[in-house]
Amino acid sequence: NAGVTQTPKFRILKIGQSMTLQCTQDMNHNYMYWYRQDPGMGLKLIYYSVGAGITDKGEVPNGYNVSRSTTEDFPLRLELAAPSQTSVYFCASSLAGYNEQFFGPGTRLTVL
């Protein structure tokens, strides 16, 4: 039981490049989330999903896209990377909205 896994662990992008951050959970959780954490700040919700085929925006969705074709996977897409997207990205999952969330180890992204 691996929990929530994220790849890659680290990535450096040039301005304007695109990439996909991968997230997989093996707990059969319905809910999945993407957060970003900037230095000295709390986590901010980017997008979430309440089940396969259903996604919705969080607090800071601009510049990102998501899809949820399976229960297990919830990739986050950056289309045109900008320096403001330099951050640590965490994926999380939960059984339902009121359950605690389980987090992956994070992806540290730098955009230069």
Partner 1 sequence: DQQVKQNSPSLSVQEGRISILNCDYTNSMFDYFLWYKKYPAEGPTFLISISSIKDKNEDGRFTVFLNKSAKHLSLHIVPSQPGDSAVYFCAAKASGSNDMRFGAGTRLTVKP
The site for partner 1 (CB under 8 A) is made up of 4, 31, 33, 35, 40-45, 48, 50, 56, 58-59, 90, 92, 97-98, 100-106
| CB neighbour list of residue 69: distance below 8 Å, 6 or more residues apart | 52, 53
Shortest reach from residue 69's CB to partner 1, in Å: 19
Shortest reach from residue 94's CB to partner 1, in Å: 9
**Contact of 19 with 78, CB cutoff 8 Å:** yes
**Contact of 30 with 71, CB cutoff 8 Å:** yes
Q: Which is nearer to partner 1, 14 or 42 (CB)?
A: 42
Shortest reach from residue 101's CB to partner 1, in Å: 7
| CB neighbour list of residue 28: distance below 8 Å, 6 or more residues apart | 71
Q: Which is nearer to partner 1, 17 or 108 (CB)?
A: 108
The CB density around residue 44, as the number of other CB atoms within 10 Å, is 14
Shortest reach from residue 20's CB to partner 1, in Å: 19
